[in-house]
Amino acid sequence: MQILVVSNRHTAAGPKETERVCTALRQSGATVVEREFQTRSGSQAMADIPPETDLVVAIGGDGTIMHAAKCAAGRDLPVLGINSGKLGFLAGLEVNETDRLQALFTREYEIEERLLLDVTVDGDAGTHLAMNEAVVSRGALSRLVDLTVVSGGQDVMRYRADGVMIATPTGSTAYSLSAGGPVVDPSVEALLLTPICPHSLYARSYVFSAETELTVRPTASDGNTFLTVDGEREISLLPGQAVTVRRSAMTAKLIRLKKQSFYDILNHKLINRDGGRV
C-alpha cells in the first residue's frame, strides 16, 4: 500500500507528530510519500499526487485536511485527517490516536462522502472547487455591496450586505455558522445561502436542493468586490462579472476509523469547548 502523507508542519504538533505517523505507517508495511502543505498561496504543492497512491493521510487543521480532500477528489482517493490544529471537524483521528492507524491495513473503516461545489466566474475559463463555501463580498473598504442571487433565470433574493456565501453542509459549521446560518448534517445533500451582515431586519439563510444552480451578481462592481473559495483563493471581480455555484461531479471521501457521529463531534468540538452545556 502506498500512502501519501500531507502535513502542516506549522501547527503545534508539527514535525514530531508527522514523523510519528510516518514511522507507524512504514512499520505496518506501507510505502510512504511525504508532501508539506505550505500556505494558502502555495497550496498547489499538493496537486502532484503520485499515480500509485492508495490513500492520503493529512496531518494538520481543517484547512490542511480540506485542501488534501479536494486534491484527492480528482483521483477518487479517500483521505484520513489527523487533527493537530484547533477544531479538526474533518479529522478522523486526533494526534494522540495514531495507534488506530493499523485499521487502515485491515480496512476496518468507513468512508464518508462529502458534497463539493464547482465555482465559476463569468469570463474565466477555470473552475474552483469548494468544500466549505464560496463567498462574494466587499473588499477592505467598510461599505456595503448590492448583490442579486439568481436561480433558473429568476431572482431568488437581493441583498445589501457585506457579502453573501453559498455553503455546503460541511461548511455549515464554518464561516456560515459564524454568519448566522443553520447547522446542517453533512449527510444531507443541500446548498446553503447565507447573507453576511445584511442591512435588513428580515434577511435569513435559505436552504436549497443540492441540484440547484445559484448565480451571484453584484449590482455594480468597482473592482472592490471579491470571490473567496474556502478561504484559500481570493479573486477580484470585474464590473459585470457574476459567480455561479453548482454541485460538483466529484465528492470528497473522508476515512472514519472511529464510531463517532456528527453530533458527537459537534458537541465535543463546539459546545464543550466553548463551555456550553450538552
- The residues annotated as belonging to the active site are 62
The C-alpha atoms of residue 166 and residue 105 are separated, in whole angstroms, by: 37
The C-alpha atoms of residue 96 and residue 81 are separated, in whole angstroms, by: 13
CA distances from 229 to 70, 88, 112 (A): 12, 19, 22
- CA proximity to 104, closest of 82, 75, 73, 72: 82
In the chain, how long is the greatest CA-to-CA distance? 60
Q: Are 68 and 6 in contact (CB under 8 A)?
A: yes
Q: Classify residue 213 as exposed, middle or buried by CB count within 10 Å of its CB (0-12, 13-18, 19+).
A: middle
- SS3 call for 93: strand
